[in-house]
Amino acid sequence: MKATDIVFSIAKPIAKEYGLNIWDVIFEKEGINWFLRIYLDKNDGAVTIEDCEKISNCVSDKLDELDPIEQSYYLEVSSAGLGRKLRKEEHFLKLIGEQISMKLYKSFEGKKHFTGILRGFKDGCIKLETEDEMFNIPFSDCSYVKLDDDLDLF
């Protein structure tokens, strides 16, 4: 089992106890350091600093107790935030009807960047409605897909 799956299974019930959801868990190396990042979501309102602190303390205690990750790392807990990345099927299914942006590894119908309304996700393909047309883009062709929910801030 991958470290992220283990941490997700540890953090999920803790987050649920506080009315939060785990949006994503990422374990990545930056330079010489490893970072374990837990991203939170809340169904009814915004994730607060206090929410992050509670989850961080509880998850940290449980990780210290179980010690499922061999190397040393820094634990970071934060809100999934504006512009959150969509990496799992449940992310797409939860955000149908929302505006998203994506960048592709290679051109698809002459373009590498798309912005539009997420209309569905099935069999690994993103159904995206742009101003011009409807596209079915394989998720495996995307370098990233993110929620485009910060447009009204600028």
Residues 80-121 pLDDT 10s = 998 899 999 999 999 999 999 999 999 988 999 999 999 999
CATH number of residue 62's parent domain: 3.30.300.70
Q: Please say which residue of 79, 100, 128 terminates a domain.
A: 79
Domain that holds residue 110: 89-153
pTM for the structure as a whole: 0.87
pLDDT at 154: 44
CA gap 82, 112 in Å, rounded: 22
- More confident site: 109 or 5: 5
- Determine the Cα–Cα distance for residues 94 and 10; give it in Å rounded to an integer: 22
Nearest to 100 by CA among 120, 121, 128: 128
Tell me if residue 133 falls in helix, strand or coil. coil
Tell me the pLDDT tens digit for each residue of 122-134: 999 999 999 989 9
